[in-house]
Amino acid sequence: MPRGRLGIIGLFRMPILTPNRFKGKLIVVEGIDGSGKSTQLSLLAQWLRSQGLAVAFSEWNSSPLVRETTRRGKKKQMFTPTTFSLIHATDFADRQERFILPMLKAGAIVCADRFAYTAFARDVVRGVSPRWVRNVYRFAIQPNLAFYFRVPLEVALGRILGGRDSIKYYEAGMDLNLSRRIEESFRLFQGRILEEYDAMAEEMGFHIIDATGSIEEQQARMRQIVLEKLSEAIASGQILQKESSYRAHAAAAPVL
Amino acid sequence: MPMQQPLQFYNEPLPGIDTGELQGKLIVIEGPDSVGRSTQVSRLRTWLEQQGHAVLDTGLARGTLAGKGIQEAKEGNTLGSVTMTLFYVTDFADRLENEIIPALRAGFVVLTDRYIFSLMARGIARGEDSVWLEKLAGFALVPHAVYYLRADVPTLVSRVVMGRGSFDYWESGMDMHFGADMYDSYVRYQTRLIRALDRMGRKYEFQTIDATKPADVIFRQLQRSIGGLFARPARKRK
């Protein structure tokens, strides 16, 4: 889907995130568990690196600063929808302030596995107000590219339930009391998150990738979109790269 | 002073809370560092208990979920300002949902040493957007009363120097390097905090108390005003 289509409504819509005024670019992937987004992002990052570009990687819920707090909350099941949402926002803020912003300023391509959109989908399913959680993340840098890996629920569930031995309490949305059986709860929870992603896809300008296709097909599509979107920034030398003298032609057409 | 009955949320109701069930009183003591808040809170607690009220006292970063994490984060060498705000708001939400609201439901008087206003003031002093902060903390309950213990910076400086004897890194806003050394940074940061609190005081109807006066005078003033909170509903109707 083409992005950046500013209709009349789009023109008057308040920007919900912070514009990226830096040299670097932010690429994010979203999708429910089992959509294959992490696999695709790591293939993309590897390819970008092989082109001599500076790539930084950041994963949802990975800040060492809040790790202990998150662990305590999960272990003792202390989270409410509001505190669950806020601790993830704290985690993201720490990664953005400490890592993502400096990397963007330096001119790197920052690849983020999950982003604020995860909160917009998941926290809303948990019951927090969509308006409130969108405001919480207003400090987040607007991605230059947001990929949404759309996959039917049953396909994703097949990948997850086959491949892993246990689903955790909050992952399955057990705090929502959807079902006492963890697999059933997981199924219902993921189904609702999927609906939220679909509902916001247009508003957020997601590039939708059909995640039922082969891994190769999806990756080729992703690279094509990245080239379309970033080739100018690469060619102009805005993005930090290995050999600056090589910049002009190497960047014009990296090989797929 | 306006009385809310029942209690209300500022902006965004917390999911699953019926404010009609909240019978207690929510009383906030606000003010900058070293202004004497904790002295007043502990005296008020004793007094209220003597009057037969059950009291819960609480304050920033004291929650079971995030209190320890915040302390540890402040001991480290990097803590960004947005991260700090969100971490404190997480702690506030945890205490609101798991301590304050249950206590109000049980009819307690909740005395809180600082509330969302200090969190917002710290963010504003560090250049964060006040509208963002207001909406972020919009799930807070509107208290029955907010007492703002106000003192000027020279008074605060003299209390820090005569009392603890040294400037605290965070109380001086040294994370933002507002000045060349702890003293300069303290003065600028506390000036900004007070300015932000003053502005909020008008919007959120704080009752300002001159905290340069002796502690006994402040205490009597608080007693009189808080006493009034309990007298009023009994006289209402019938």
Cα distance between residue A117 and residue A133, in whole Å: 10
**Does the beta-carbon distance from A83 to B65 stay under 8 Å?**
yes
- Summarize the confidence of residues B155-160 as an average pLDDT: 96
Q: Are B12 and A129 in contact (CB under 8 A)?
A: yes
The DSSP output letter for A41 is H
Of B76, B80, B135, the CB nearest to A93: B80
> In terms of CA atoms, which chain A residue is nearest residue B67?
A69
* B97 contact A CB<8A: yes
Choose the closest CB to A132 out of B82, B97, B135: B135
Chain A neighbors of B83, CB-CB under 8 A:
65, 90, 93-94, 97-98
Please report whether residue B200 resides in a domain.
Answer: no
Question: How many domains does chain B divide into?
Answer: 1
User: β-strand A25-30 against A145-150: which pairing, if any?
Assistant: parallel
Q: Is residue A178 within 8 Å of A184, Cβ to Cβ?
A: yes
CB count in 10 Å sphere of residue A81: 23
CB contact under 8 A, B14 and A82: yes
Residue A14 DSSP SS3: coil
Query: Distance from A82 to chain B by nearest Cα, in Å?
Result: 7
Is B194 inside any structural domain? no
Tell me whether residue B141 is in a domain: yes
**Interface test mutation site (partner A, options B87, B98, B130, B175, max chain A beta carbons within 10 A):** B87
3-state secondary structure of B103: helix
Is residue B7 included in any domain, yes or no? no
Low-confidence ranges of chain A (pLDDT < 50): 1-11, 245-252, 255-256
Q: Which structural domain range is residue B90 located in?
A: 19-152+205-230
**In this model, does residue B232 exceed pLDDT 80?**
no
Give the per-residue pLDDT at B233. 52
| Cβ B110 vs Cβ B185: under 8 Å | no
Residue B146 in domain: yes
pLDDT band at B16, cuts 50/70/90?
confident
Q: Would you say B158 and B144 are in contact if contact means Cβ atoms under 8 Å apart?
A: no
User: Is B73 touching A (CB cutoff 8 A)?
Assistant: yes
Query: Would you state the structure tokens that stand for residue A24, as one six-digit string?
Result: 């670097």
Size of interface A-B (CB pairs under 8 A): 94
Question: Does some domain include residue B5?
Answer: no
**β-bridge mates for residue A26, sequence order:** A110
Nearest chain B residue to A97 by CA distance is: B80
Integer Cα distance of A114 and B125 in angstroms: 31
The shortest CB-CB distance from A69 to any of B65, B85, B136 is to B65
Residue A26's pLDDT is 98
Q: Which domains does chain A have, with CATH numbers?
A: 23-252 (3.40.50.300)
Q: Could you read off the pLDDT of B91-122 as tens digits, one per residue?
A: 999 999 999 999 999 999 999 999 999 999 99
Q: Which two tokens stand for residue B14?
A: 């917390």
**pLDDT, tens digit, for every residue of B85-99?**
999 999 999 999 999
Can you tell me the distance from the alpha carbon of B176 to that of B208, in angstroms, rounded to the nearest whole number?
28
What is the pLDDT, as a whole number, of residue B6? 73
Residue B235 predicted with pLDDT over 80: no
Preferred mutation among B62, B72, B83 to probe A, highest tally of A CBs within 10 A: B83
- Written as six digits, the tokens of B25 are 């009183």
Residues A202, A206, A212, A217, Cα dihedral to 10° = 140
- Judge whether B89 is closer than 8 Å to chain A, CB to CB: yes
For residue B45, how many other CB atoms are within 10 A of its CB?
A: 16
For residue B93, what are its two tokens?
């939400």
Task: Give the separation between CA B145 and CA B27, rounded to whole angstroms.
Answer: 5
Please answer whether residues B79 and B170 qualify as being in contact, where contact means their C-beta atoms are separated by less than 8 angstroms. no
Residue to substitute from A80, A99, A123, interface B, most B β-carbons within 10 A: A80
Give the dihedral of Cα atoms A88, A90, A93, A95; nearest 10 deg.
-70
Q: Is residue B192 part of a domain?
A: no
Q: Which amino acid is at B32?
A: P
Count the Cβ atoms, other than its own, within 10 Å of residue B210. 11
Whether the CB-CB separation of A142 and A20 falls below 8 Å is answered with yes
Contact yes or no for A132 and B69 at CB 8 A: no
Give chain A positions within 8 Å (CB) of B69.
65-66, 68-69, 72
How far is A32 from A192, CA to CA, in rounded Å? 10
pLDDT band at B5 (very low <50, low <70, confident <90, very high): low
Question: Does B17 reach chain A within 8 Å, measured CB to CB?
Answer: no
Q: Do B132 and A135 touch (CB under 8 A)?
A: yes
Mean pLDDT (chain B) is 93
Give A-chain residues touching B78 at CB under 8 angstroms: 98
Asked if the C-beta of B154 comes within 8 angstroms of chain A's C-beta atoms, the answer is no
Which helix or strand (DSSP H or E) is residue A247 part of?
helix A247-252
CATH of the domain at B214: 3.40.50.300
* In the predicted structure, residue B234 carries a pLDDT above the cut 60: no
For residue B218, give Cα distances in angstroms to A21, B43, B44, B213: 50, 11, 11, 7
In a domain, B98, yes or no: yes
Task: Determine, for residues A78 and B136 on separate chains, whether the beta-carbon distance falls below 8 Å.
Answer: no
